[in-house]
Every structure is written in structure tokens, then in C-alpha cells.
Amino acid sequence: MNHDPFHWGRPSADTYGEYNYNIAHASNADRSTSTNSEFPRMHTQQPMITGTSVIAIKYNDGIVMAADHMGSFGSLMKLDDLQRIIPVGKSAAVGISGDISDFQYLERLLDDLEIEDSYDMESDNLKADYLSEYLTRVMYNRRSKMNPLWNAIIVAGFDGKGELVLKHVDLLGVSYSSPTLATGFGNHLAIPLLRKKVDSEEDVKKLSKEDAIQTVKDCMKVLFYRDARSWNKYSLCVIEKSTQSIEIEKDVAVEGMRWDFAQHITGYGIPQL
């Protein structure tokens, strides 16, 4: 046994030969002592703990956005009280899905921005359009280093003129804007339901706040029914243009579910007969 404090517990190399790091595929072994250097430098190649869909819809006086409170580790529900919609400054809310460690890193970046912005004691300058631009650049730069932040982000809020901003940014640095947005599974399950209500800016004028909230709640129900990595508790963010307010309600529960025998169910998300 080698009694050098740095090598405690290691068999002596003189007696047993060099430690073979290939044992148990110990690829992330301390590289300074490792003779095995052929392994490539590792970046995030897959997300670990993840958050599922974020959905958002525009209505005649604002935006409604929702994301559930779960962080899953594969099929394990690792976190059940995780708020994934965060307010940034006074004019924006950001909903983030994907890797949770990257989400927390982004949270810190946005926090730094907020602190930087508040030094001059002026009114809030951190507008939603600046934020979405900033996040797009961060995401694009990380993808260009082949070390992406594994997230899809929805930014909602107001620009400098108080107009609505709704933008989607993903891990490749691709950004786009649309009156209905969703990430992850929501893109397949919620978008068709949301676009049924709002497919263009003209439709936005016809949708009331109450209807928008109801639509989003229905979508969260469908997502809870069908997305195995979703949860029945979510945060609901309501943005109102006329009052320039952004409210995030936590612990909203999915309501009116039916878990009857399938024979009696006529479809999910639609009123039951």
C-alpha cells in the first residue's frame, strides 16, 4: 500500500504496476495522474435532470405562460417543487425547459444582468426584447463552442415601448417569435390546441384573458395526461399590457381530470359528454 497522503488507498505502483484507468471505464478519472489521455475532452452531450414543456399564448391584452414544477432524472421524479418560470427585472418573465443545471446557470446570468441594471438607480432598463437577444447570443456562442446550454427558453414581456414580446430560443441559438409558442413535448401536444385559438396576430385580438388562461390550463391538463415527464403542479404567468403587470402564480393544480375506465372517456382535453 502506498502511504503517500495523495495516494492513500491505492495499490503501490512498484508492486502492482500502474493503475489501469480503463478499469470500469474510468474515463473521467483525474487526468493529471492518468496515463490514459486519449479520451476526448467532454462537454455536456446530454441533459441530466430535465424540465419538460413550457407553453405560452398571446391574448388581446397580454401573454399567458405556463410550466410545471417537475425536474426529472430520466424517469425518476427528482424534483417536485421547481419553479421554472422566473421574473427578470420588471418587464420580463423567462420560462426555461431542458437541463436544470444549465437552467440554474442561466438564472445566475440573468440575476447578474438584473444587478448590473439596478446600479444606476434608474427605472428598469432590462426589457424583454433585450433579454431575448442576449439569451440568443449566449446560446449561439455556447453551441459554437460545441458546449451547448441544453435548454429551450421562452421569453415573455414588454419592450421599451410597452409592446408585447414573445420569443423562443433553443440550444442551437435559433430564435423565433409567434403568437403561440411551446418547447419540448408541448410543441407536439399543446401547439395544435393553442393554434386552434390563435393562429395569427388577427386571432390574438379575439382572445380574452379568461379564455387564454382556460386554454393554457387545458393544455397543461393534456400534457399531464400524455407527457410521462410532466407534473400536475405548475406555475402560471399572466402578463397584462394595459397594466404593464407580470404575475407568476405558483402551485397551480391541474383540475377536472378524469381517470375513469377508458370506455367512458371520449377524448382528452375536450369537455366530457
By CB under 8 A, name the binding residues for another protein: 43-46, 136, 140, 143-144, 146, 148, 168, 172-178, 187-188, 191, 199-201
Q: What is the rounded distance in angstroms from the CA atom of residue 137 to the CA atom of residue 256?
A: 41
Joined grid coordinates for residue 184: 419540448
Nearer to another protein, 178 or 230 (CB): 178
Side by side, which strands form the sheet with 54-59?
180-182, 54-59, 62-68, 233-240, 245-253
Nearer to another protein, 202 or 255 (CB): 202
Residue 199 beta carbon to another protein: minimum distance, rounded to whole angstroms: 7
Nearer to another protein, 136 or 215 (CB): 136
Residue 245 beta carbon to another protein: minimum distance, rounded to whole angstroms: 26
Angle at 126 between CA 125 and CA 132, to 5 degrees: 145
End-to-end CA, the chain: 75
Nearer to another protein, 10 or 205 (CB): 205
Residue 48 beta carbon to another protein: minimum distance, rounded to whole angstroms: 15
Those residues with Cβ within 8 angstroms of residue 161's Cβ, 6 or more apart along the chain or in another chain: none
50 in catalytic set: no
Nearer to another protein, 191 or 212 (CB): 191
What is the amino acid identity at position 268? Y
Those residues with Cβ within 8 angstroms of residue 82's Cβ, 6 or more apart along the chain or in another chain: 51, 69, 70, 71, 100
Q: Which of 33, 44, 180, 266 is catalytic?
A: 44
Residue 179 beta carbon to another protein: minimum distance, rounded to whole angstroms: 9
Residue 219 beta carbon to another protein: minimum distance, rounded to whole angstroms: 16
- According to DSSP H, which parts of the chain are helical? 13-16, 100-118, 128-144, 186-189, 191-197, 201-206, 209-226
What is the amino acid identity at position 80? D
Q: How many CB atoms neighbour CB 65 within 10 A?
A: 28
Place of cell 401547439: 191
Catalogue the active-site residues: 44
